[in-house]
Structure formats: structure tokens, C-alpha cells
Amino acid sequence: MDTELATLAASAANALVGALTTETWERARLLLARLRRTPDTERLPLELARDRALLLADPADEANRSDLTAAWRLRFRRIVEDDPDAARALLDLVAELAPHTAPQAGHVLNAEAHDRSRIYQSAGDMNIGRTPAP
């Protein structure tokens, strides 16, 4: 398989699985329906719904997410191998879903002060008692 098509299959799988637990999952379902109907693609909506239910049952389970991404990557690779025109539908899927499924960087800082203690927290650089270097 062409490296570009393999990369496309991986990107589409990441975008699709990332969208399953977000408000964009209905859009993902519609984009998936654009694939030309074959015996292999007929069952995709059922698999998508099953996979979404699995992720919603335990959204923090990274093993499930990883397994589902690998399974969808393989499905997409097979679909594109059988029908190179399916690449257009996968490109559309990635273009629409990838911006909505990009991981959000975030920080959670927790602290509990007792007596006269001080707490200093930072999600970035912190300079205490000295001027930062220019």
C-alpha cells in the first residue's frame, strides 16, 4: 500500500475515534456514509455505534481507544486498497473531524495549605526571588 494512503487511513482512524465521544460524532457518521456501498462498508454504521457505546461506557480507558483506533485504521486501509476513490471520502472525514478532535492541552493544579504554609503553583515558568534572565 502506498505510504500516503496508509497515512490517510491512520489519520482518518484517529479523527473518527476521537470524534466518537464528542458532539461531532453525528457528523462523523454522516461522513462515513459517503463511502461507496460495498459488503465491507455496509456494516460500518453498526460498528461505529457499537464502538461509540464502548467509549462512552468508559471514556478514560485508553486501551479501548487505542484498540478501536487500530481496528478503524485497518478497516480504512482495506477499504482504500479495494477502492482508491474512497480516499476522497477519508480526506473529507479528516478535514472536518481532525480540528475538533485535537487533544487540548490543560493543567490541573491541586494544593492544600495548612497552618502558615505557602503554596506556589504554576503551569509554566516560575521565578521566586530573582529576576528572570532576558
pLDDT at 112: 81
pLDDT band at 83 (very low <50, low <70, confident <90, very high): confident
Cβ(112)–Cβ(68) below 8 Å: no
Rg, the chain, Cα only: 21
Return phi, psi of residue 101, to 5°: -115, 5
pLDDT at 115: 86
pLDDT at 82: 86
Whether residue 51 is predicted with pLDDT greater than 50 in this model: the reply is: yes
Domain residue spans of the chain: 3-101
Cβ(38)–Cβ(86) below 8 Å: no
Residue 117 to residue 113: CA distance in whole angstroms = 6
Q: What is the pTM of this model?
A: 0.69
Side-chain-side CA neighbours of residue 122 (13 Å): 6
pLDDT at 56: 93
Buried b (16+ CB within 10 A) or exposed e, 21-50: eeebbeebbebbeebeeeeebeebeeebee
pLDDT at 4: 86
Residue range 64-80: mean pLDDT, rounded:
92
pLDDT at 132: 62
